[in-house]
A and B are shown apart, each in its own frame.
Chain A
Amino acid sequence: MTQDDLTRKLAQVIRDELLKNNQVHIEGVGLFSKKHVPAEEETQPDGTIILHPPKDKIHFEPEKVTF
């Protein structure tokens, strides 16, 4: 198994945990979590109003590096 395969498998595991609404903490890297962004309206300068759909995205909080 190559490193890429392993990282893909790791990504799948992280994805599964995030879909369960869990947070994944990797020491020395940071905290992965899922955040829900609701739908929002955006008004353009010319008056155009655009409605953006809601979505779930990965939120990453890096770990503070202590030197």
Chain B
Amino acid sequence: MKIIRIDTLIDSLSDELNVQKEAVEEKINEVLDSVRALKDQDEIKLAGIGIFKRDGGNLVYTPDPVLDLEINYEFAGQQSIILAEGSGSFFPATKTGDDDTKSKSGDEFINVSAPDEKPRKTIAFSDEDEEDEDQKEKPDSADSTAADDVINVVPDDKVSSRRFDFSGDEEPEVSDTNKSKVNDEEKEKAADDTEPEQEDSGDDTTPDLTDEIEETDEVIPPENLQKIDEGGFGDEDDKASDELAVEFTTLLKKMRDKAEKASDLEKQVEETDEAGDEISAEEETDVHKPYKPKPEPESSEPEEVEEEKEPAQESVANFEESEDKNSKYAPDYQAVEPESIWRSSDASDSMPSLRKESGGSSGSSRVKSTQTDTSTIGIILVILILLIGIGAGFYFSGAFGDEEIVTEEVAPIGEDDLPPLPDATEPDPEPVEPVTEPEPVAPQPAGFEYGLRGSFDTAVTDFYGIITASVSDRRNADGQSRTLSEAGFRTHVYSLRLPDGRTTWRVVVGQFEDADSARAAVSELPAQIRNNYFVTNVRL
């Protein structure tokens, strides 16, 4: 926490207003001098700052509301809340000049009565025994009209005598004729009730349902009461219900008919599709039973077929006319000659169900289609078998043929005609040896001597050398080569294409006959190079 003086304020003001500091200081001092010069009970209001008042030698400051709010920005908007209400009245206090219920914070609170006020009393319920000063002053509530804000409770004795006690002293305003009937019936009902009856007494305050019914003006005639009990309706209701019932039954009938027709059509469609699969009438009486294949001999089958055959169209017509389809199905069969079909196809022998269930033209066409399918499948199978056999034959024939060739030719070749292939097997240890052996296959020119020093002989293109640098920039390679050659070493720079396509420049030092001699000569190289080198076969 720092203490900011007026000078700092003036500096910040001058910066903000972009005005000279002296001018700002002068005006500020004028304002402050006016505050300092206040006399007793004098006050001055500074816009945005507040009111300064001199009170008995002391300067009293009342901040500007806006400034006060800005300082209290964190808690602005929060209001006082009532945690607990006291025993005062709960109605809003009427505002008067003297009735300022302000707390020490200066806020006005509603719903809080001043301590001096006498709380208002509202009478909600009152017992007969209670004596209230207000009630004493007021006339009897039972006889007087109730106040707007007072609920009057009539004493029980008076109420029971008037409303709930039908001991006979006071008769309700009901017609006598209807009343007698209703009373008798209601009494019978009350006698039949399982609940214990409540004897009416002068002190009984609990009302009876029967009494309440008696009290009503609208009396239900006994005829209607019976109808209500029995569930009957009035005349108009009966007519409406009858009409509804009739409509409902007609709708049901229509729906049944439709359902029957739909089921019939479905059956017809099924039977036309299964005309070839139908069982003989002798065997089954119900068309819906599942088909059961019979193990009968073939001789008896054509006879059954003749009996059962029927054109599909006639069978459909028969189904539409009668309910009992089996009875009409057998006699309406017409002989059809599908014997040629059965005899020609071999698939029929394997499918006994088709023989028995042969039907009309639709059935024969179906049989034909199935036969064609089986025939095509058989053909395809045969073709596949043939292909497999041919493939197997080629495979096996080729295998045997290869063996024969091998057996025939290997013997003479193995002795004399074989090329000198043993090099492929023998030189397994040799790849190491030719490396060590003088591989500079290229003949040495006359006067050439291997070594680390001297001049590099470019005529020797195949030799072992010490690689001291392998860089991508040729200038670096040339620089190192120059320094080494100045030192007396035999150096040369050559390029090499790496497998990844990059070109690298290598500095090779010395020309040696073999790698061992090259490695032996490394000790003569400078220390810097000795730590980073490798020996390889160089072929230019």
Residue numbers of A with Cβ under 8 A of B are 1, 3-4, 6-15, 17-19, 21-31, 34, 41-42, 44-58, 60, 62-63, 65
> Is the pair A63, B4 in contact by a Cβ cutoff of 8 Å?
no
Instruction: State the total of A-B contacts with C-beta under 8 angstroms.
Output: 161
**Interface residue B528 (Cβ < 8 Å from any Cβ of A):** no
Q: Do A3 and B27 contact each other (CB < 8 Å), given the known contacts A22-B3, A25-B6, A50-B103? A: yes
**Interface residue B413 (Cβ < 8 Å from any Cβ of A):** no
> Is the pair A48, B112 in contact by a Cβ cutoff of 8 Å?
yes
**Interface residue B61 (Cβ < 8 Å from any Cβ of A):** yes
> Is the pair A49, B83 in contact by a Cβ cutoff of 8 Å?
yes
> Is the pair A13, B9 in contact by a Cβ cutoff of 8 Å?
yes
> Is the pair B88, A56 in contact by a Cβ cutoff of 8 Å?
no
Q: Which of B45-82 contact A (CB under 8 A)?
A: 46-49, 52, 57-61, 63-64, 67-68, 70-72, 74-75, 78-82
Total contacting residues, chain B, CB less than 8 A: 58
For the complex of A and B, list the 3 residue pairs with the smallest distance between their C-beta atoms, beginning with the closest.
A47-B86, A11-B48, A53-B78
- Please choose the segment from B30-38, B143-151, B367-375 that sits at the chain A interface, where 4 or more of its residues have CB less than 8 A away: B30-38
Majority DSSP secondary structure for residues of A touching B: mixed
Residue numbers of B with Cβ under 8 A of A are 1-6, 9, 12-13, 16-17, 19, 24, 27-28, 30-33, 35-36, 46-49, 52, 57-61, 63-64, 67-68, 70-72, 74-75, 78-88, 103-105, 109, 112-113, 115
Majority DSSP secondary structure for residues of B touching A: mixed
Chain B residues contacting A50 (CB-CB under 8 Å) are 80-83, 103, 109
The 8 Å CB contact of A62, one of B1, B17, B59, B70, is B59
> Is the pair B46, A22 in contact by a Cβ cutoff of 8 Å?
no
CA distance A34 to B46 in the complex (A): 19
Interface pairs (27), CB distance under 8 Å: A1-B17, A1-B19, A4-B47, A6-B13, A7-B46, A7-B49, A9-B16, A11-B49, A11-B64, A13-B16, A14-B9, A15-B71, A17-B4, A18-B71, A19-B71, A27-B32, A29-B32, A29-B59, A44-B86, A46-B113, A48-B82, A48-B109, A49-B82, A51-B83, A53-B75, A58-B71, A62-B60
> Is the pair B1, A22 in contact by a Cβ cutoff of 8 Å?
yes
> Is the pair A3, B71 in contact by a Cβ cutoff of 8 Å?
no
The 8 Å CB contact of A28, one of B32, B75, B113, is B32
> Is the pair A23, B3 in contact by a Cβ cutoff of 8 Å?
yes
